[in-house]
Amino acid sequence: MNYFLTEEQRMIVDICKEITEKKIKPVRAELDQNQVFPSEIIQEIGNADLFRLFIPEEYEGMGTGIFEVCLATEELSRGDLSVATSYAASGLGFLPILISGNKQQKEKYLPLLASGQKLAAFGLTEPEAGSDAGAIQTKAVLEGDYYVLNGTKQWITNGGEADIYTIFAMTDPKKGSRGASAFIVKKGTEGFDFGKKEDKMGIRASATRELIFNNCKIPKENMIGREGMGFLVAMKTLDQSRPAVGSQGVGLAQGALEEALAYAKVRKQFSNTISSFQAIRHMLADMATQIEAARNLVYYAAKAIDSGQKDISRLSAMSKVFASDMAMQVTTDAVQIFGGYGYMKEYPAEKMMRDAKILQIYEGTNQIQRDVIALDLVKKGF
């Protein structure tokens, strides 16, 4: 399908395609099996300037839109969702600085992140605050020129691997979500430690850890935006990042369809390739159609954001929920087409199915996405 990409956009896709084919596919099963963070591939992605995409040129980025980030993320996800997640999570981590940071913060941190030398991570979720993001309990208390952080963040992607963390903490717990603030915390700050790497169902090569703050003192100039704006910063960040989760679903599903199609064309039963059977052909047709529908919605949402459209929560949530549900279905169907072999680790389909599940959970469960869509629909109409 022709999406009328510019020369620059086609180049981004081609670079990612080369990384996927040459660097990711040969090692993805091993990385998954051994839960090894893909540092070398992340370095390749950095060398290819892909972390520069969404960062403005004045901070050593390429100043492209979310659309280009989605193109890159989709293609990397076709190879491996752990790699794509590690890449996209750095974007999620620096978005609060980009959206609400001041000039000094942008000058200090964005060039490092643009080069790929440093990764970022987004610290919102806590043991008692997942979907209910306003219920975070980590506290930040102002003492002289420092905020002192105490609390624990849970399931933080790139935890331990990233150098720069955007952390949400309560500066005025009495005010609920209006009492939350956002901060930049650097790895290595005294009082900031990590839990063990989590042992996960899927995206096993990506790093997921607890962030533990124990009287962690950070300079007060590390606050992003104003005191009490943290919840808003988090919501605006998620509105912009969710289409990239959608693009992870599109890429992952595309990878699964490619594997299933290739297998169906060589696997013989009843003296014929299974791709000649209508039962299989209809599955393949549905998979391809669903992928293309999701891709259209993701691209549309990304372009709406890039065009400066203000009211993007609904569209952004729609792209995430549709593409991730689609990816779960398509990867499950891919396993089915492979039959018994699909259940075995020697083929990539089972890993893709395990990986897909997280897309329906992270960056807001799909139940929360439906809440966001419905609330907006009821308030504003269609």
Q: Is 221 a catalytic residue?
A: no
Asked if 62 interacts with ligand COS (CB under 6 A), we say no
Question: DSSP secondary structure string, 256-323?
Answer: HHHHHHHHHHH-EETTEEGGGSHHHHHHHHHHHHHHHHHHHHHHHHHHHHHTT-S--HHHHHHHHHHH
At closest approach, how far in Å is the CB of 151 from ligand COS? 15
Asked if 313 interacts with ligand COS (CB under 6 A), we say yes
Asked if 239 interacts with ligand COS (CB under 6 A), we say yes
Asked if 195 interacts with ligand COS (CB under 6 A), we say no
Among 35, 137, 177, 275, binds ligand COS (CB under 6 A): 177
Among 131, 214, 269, 367, binds ligand COS (CB under 6 A): 131
Which CB, 89 or 110, lies closer to ligand COS? 89
Which CB, 60 or 371, lies closer to ligand COS? 371
* Residue 364 zone, left/alpha/beta (φ > 0; ψ -120 to 50; rest): left
Number of helical (H) and strand (E) elements in the chain, helices listed first: 11, 10
Task: Round to whole Å and give the CA distance between 349 and 267.
Answer: 15
At closest approach, how far in Å is the CB of 125 from ligand COS? 5
Which CB, 350 or 363, lies closer to ligand COS? 363
Q: Which stretch binds ligand COS (CB under 6 A): 30-38, 204-212, 235-243, 350-358?
A: 235-243
Site string for ligand COS, 134-153 (x = CB under 6 A): x-------------------
Task: Round to whole Å and give the CA distance between 302 and 241.
Answer: 9
Tokens of 332: 């499950």
Q: Which stretch binds ligand COS (CB under 6 A): 26-34, 205-213, 290-298, 360-368?
A: 360-368
Which CB, 211 or 337, lies closer to ligand COS? 211
Q: What is the largest CA-CA distance in the chain?
A: 79
Residues 93-112 that bind ligand COS (CB under 6 A): none
Which residue pairs, CB below 8 angstroms and at least 24 apart, start in 104-112? 104/221, 105/184, 105/221, 105/222, 105/224, 106/59, 107/59, 109/164, 109/184, 110/55, 110/56, 110/59, 110/60, 110/61, 111/59, 111/60, 112/163, 112/164
At closest approach, how far in Å is the CB of 134 from ligand COS? 4
Select which of 74, 161, 350, 363 is catalytic: 363
Active-site annotation, residues = 363
